[in-house]
Structure 1
Amino acid sequence: MIIQQFYDKGLAHGSYAVIRTGKMIVIDPARDPQPYYDFAAQHDADIVGVIETHPHADFVSSHLEIHQTTAAIIYVSKLTGAEYPHESFDDGDVIQLNDIKLKSINTPGHSPDSICILVEDENGKDTALFTGDTLFVGDVGRPDLRENVGNITAKKEELARQMYHSTRNKLMKLPHSVVVYPAHGPGSLCGKSMSPDLTSTIGREIRENYALQLMDELAFVKTLTADQPFVPKYFGSDVEINKKGAAGFIDSISKVLKPGKGYQIQPNILIIDTRPKLDFRYAHLSGAINLQDGEKFETWLGSIINPGEEFYLIAKTDADLDRMIKKTAKIGYEQYIKAAFTLPDNASAKLADIDLDDFIAHPDSFTIVDVRNHTETANGLIFASSITIPLPELRERVSEIPTDKPIVVHCAAGYRSAAAVSILAATITKVPVYDLGEVVTEFANA
């Protein structure tokens, strides 16, 4: 038996292939199915099945495309209400992959329709568990993403109670040697305190995972529902896309308009400029948001822009542009790109450079905006007089920022503040808006 993890660091997403004697099953596949096709070809295997542990909120899955390309059967819980061809896969259901078995376990908690997949090897021993978003290394799935979307909705407190019983009555009763393969790692917004490790064992999680320690149901519910990270704007939309099945990856990105020089952009359409912030600072289109290419680009794109909101996409080179279009497709946002192009020659807008000496000497002469998340600012402010507005909320809350003094924006390390400054500078023209950038770390460590 071969188990292969495919890990997308940008979305902190782990998908898997299980191969046994020429047959392969894919679990929780990413939007681009090509890596699974390549792996199957490398091992001379046929893809015969795709399993979805639940309709994912944080990325678009290629389960339907894989089915359409390979005729692989899609397996998913009947509770999902899947609108694509599938076979139900719930408690007691078994997929026979030659001489090994993949057994479904219903584990509601992160979502009402979550399942885990237990692998029984050729010797009849339970050896591996694909846990989806139910159990992570050091954490369990957040319970607050299905209050308003999906085939079945549930309040976070009810899902937290279900998670308590799923972990105690099902997963924690498995052999301690069973290897845990989760769908996410550190940095994912589907949990709040994941370990850097990408695999574990049931025994280790029972010993070390805060959510699996001895506590009653009420204490568990309070613990699990507290201090969860923000919910990006796109999460609900992706649940619905995955419930229906997404369009093919290559076909969808090929439809993005990439006009040449001289293309006339339309007013009142958002512009997302993915170039490095120094390039952006000294030349960009008026009103553009600087959302730099980086490991978390997809998450921030889907946190700042609403599903269905059209935008232009700008990159530094044509190669960069192709890569960024693929990144938008990971969360299903390629369909909202009005056009994608490199920076036009007439881009002349600039951002102001901060005078650090003046800021350090006279901080009270500036309005300071902290765009870190609530969980970060709850642990203390870097500047006591700061106004706190998390980046995902900034576009909607610009009017709350006074304009009687120059504005200085900061985050924790400089990425979010670059985006925030561009958002504010596009709206606020009465006073200059400055980015404190990476220098903020000197103040935070002082």
Structure 2
Amino acid sequence: MDIHQFEDKGLAHYSYAIYSEIVKEIILIDPSRDITPYLEYANSMNATIVGVIETHPHADFISSHLELHHATGARIYCSALTGASYPHTAFDEGASLRLGNIILKALNTPGHSPDSISIVLTHGGEDRAVFTGDTLFIGDCGRPDLRENAGNITADRNTLAKQMYYSLRNKLLVLGDDVLVYPAHGAGTLCGKSLSDADSSTIAAEAVSNWSLQPSTEADFVAELLSQQPFIPKYFPYDVAINREGAPDLQPALEKVPIISGEPVPEGNVVIIDSRPAAAFKQGHLPNAINLQNGGKFETWLGSIIAPGEPYYLLAANDQELWQLIRKAAKIGYETNIKAAAVTNGGAVTMESMPLANFREHPEQYTIVDVRMASESKEEPIFENALSIPLDQLRERVTEIPTGKPVVVHCAGGYRSAAGSSIVAAALKDKVKIYDLGDAVKEFAF
């Protein structure tokens, strides 16, 4: 037997292959959009992928379950509560699968979503591991506020938080101490709020260290779980819907993205996403462009700033990065939104450098806009009287920024402020000077 963990660092996502050497077969759990790593693993083991299990319709990434079904004939398993549109076999509590001498048993574990399941792996007559999806994480549990307006079954956050309380205690905590815990996400995901950097654990270790498994009343647990959850990116409900239907195969979808030579001529209010480093962007860019830099969280912020179905232009510094970004967009189903993709060398619009010396002496002479999450701004304020408008809300709320003084945009390290200052500059450039504090914020924060 082999349990192989795949990691997508950009989305802090874990997927799994369970391999039986007896029958040379593999079952996958929660696969990401690109099927290539799974096919390569199967080939390396000289094995066949015979099944794919979805623990729930994911909100933060597009799953490849339907493409894997097309490519390998693998049967797809999910909870009957999902209301899946793709060919599938219901896999709910009481159901089990055999893979050689491995048995996979379904547990209904609602809380993150009404249709969440966990999968217990039994080998040699003993429970060895549990794949917890977005129910139990390492150091945390799944957030309960993503299915109020998405999916086949909707549920309010209070109801789901109460269900999470019992799923954790009555379904998972009762497993053996040495049972390995394999979650669908690690630190950095927006599907929880305080995950560990570890990629696996045990029931015993989580019983000691995970706040969500500590003795508490239902009411206290619900209050804590609902407090200070991260923002919900715009794309989350969209991805739930796609995953319930099954996404189009990746390669044909990528081939439909229009790649053009030369920079696009913007049409109307179509957004331009310029992924170059902030310094290059400030030296010259196209009018109204948003500087969303290519980095570890590009896809998350793309889906937080751009609404589902909203067309956008995608610009990169070279061909290699352009294709990398198109594939990142596809991870959240946003490749279909790309009106055109192109390599850019800049443009005529520039952004002035931050007058840092003057700002240090006279911060009161500037309107300071904090684009961190509201909880970050509240817990760790950096500037007195700063206007808090989280980055994911900035395009919609930019008119709240007064224009009587120059505007300085900041975050915690510079990535979000580059995007935020470009959004503000595009909206207010004719009214006031806009500056990006960038990574200089660190000298004020510490």
Give 2:335's aligned residue: 334
Counterpart Cα distance in 2 of 1:420 and 1:411: 9
Give 2:66's aligned residue: 64
Counterpart Cα distance in 2 of 1:409 and 1:263: 28
Structure 2 spans left out of the alignment, 5+ residues: none
Instruction: Label 1:192 to 1:263 Cα distance change in 2 as closer, same or farther (>3 A).
Output: closer
SS of residue in 1 equivalent to 2:379: coil
Counterpart Cα distance in 2 of 1:404 and 1:217: 50
Give 1:162's aligned residue: 163
Give 2:356's aligned residue: 356
Q: Does structure 2 retain, via aligned residues, the 8 Å contact 1:52–1:74?
A: yes
**How far did 1:368 drift?**
0.5
Matches within 5 A, 1:8-407: 8-21=8-21, 22-121=24-123, 123-261=124-262, 263-343=264-344, 347-407=347-407
Q: Does structure 1 retain, via aligned residues, the 8 Å contact 2:53–2:76?
A: yes
Q: Does structure 2 retain, via aligned residues, the 8 Å contact 1:233–1:304?
A: yes
Q: Does structure 1 retain, via aligned residues, the 8 Å contact 2:263–2:343?
A: no
Give CA-to-partner distance per residue, 1:235-280, whole Å, 9 cap, x none: 0000000000000111111110001126533231100000111110
Counterpart Cα distance in 2 of 1:201 and 1:180: 5
Moved over 3 A (4+): 262-265
Counterpart Cα distance in 1 of 2:225 and 2:267: 45
Counterpart Cα distance in 1 of 2:407 and 2:443: 19
Instruction: Label 1:94 to 1:262 Cα distance change in 2 as closer, same or farther (>3 A).
Output: closer
TM (norm. structure 1) is: 0.98
SS of residue in 2 equivalent to 1:10: helix
SS of residue in 1 equivalent to 2:357: helix
Q: Which amino acid aligns with 2:4?
A: Q
SS of residue in 1 equivalent to 2:33: coil
Give 1:430's aligned residue: 431
Counterpart Cα distance in 1 of 2:224 and 2:427: 40
Paired residue total: 443
Q: Which amino acid aligns with 1:237?
A: Y
Q: Which amino acid aligns with 1:323?
A: Q
**How far did 1:355 drift?**
1.2
TM (norm. structure 2) is: 0.98
Instruction: Label 1:385 to 1:17 Cα distance change in 2 as closer, same or farther (>3 A).
Output: same
Q: Does structure 2 retain, via aligned residues, the 8 Å contact 1:273–1:289?
A: yes
Counterpart Cα distance in 2 of 1:25 and 1:295: 29
Structure 1 spans left out of the alignment, 5+ residues: none
Q: Which amino acid aligns with 2:9?
A: K
Give CA-to-partner distance per residue, 1:40-60, whole Å, 9 cap, x none: 000001000000000000000
Q: Which amino acid aligns with 1:374?
A: A
Q: Which amino acid aligns with 1:208?
A: S
Give CA-to-partner distance per residue, 1:159-178, whole Å, 9 cap, x none: 01101111111101000100
Give CA-to-partner distance per residue, 1:365-421, whole Å, 9 cap, x none: 110101110110121310102111000010001110000110111000000000001
Give CA-to-partner distance per residue, 1:317-338, whole Å, 9 cap, x none: 0111000000000000000000
Q: Which amino acid aligns with 1:202?
A: I
Counterpart Cα distance in 2 of 1:299 and 1:241: 17
Q: Does structure 1 retain, via aligned residues, the 8 Å contact 2:62–2:332?
A: yes
Counterpart Cα distance in 1 of 2:101 and 2:2: 13
SS of residue in 2 equivalent to 1:135: coil
Q: Between 14-23 and 259-268, report the one with greater CA deviation.
A: 259-268
Q: Which amino acid aligns with 2:394?
A: L
Give CA-to-partner distance per residue, 1:210-241, whole Å, 9 cap, x none: 01000011111111111111000000000000
Q: Which amino acid aligns with 1:413?
A: G
Q: Does structure 1 retain, via aligned residues, the 8 Å contact 2:313–2:340?
A: yes
Counterpart Cα distance in 2 of 1:90 and 1:407: 54
Q: CA RMSD in A?
A: 0.9
Counterpart Cα distance in 1 of 2:339 and 2:259: 9
Give 1:408's aligned residue: 408
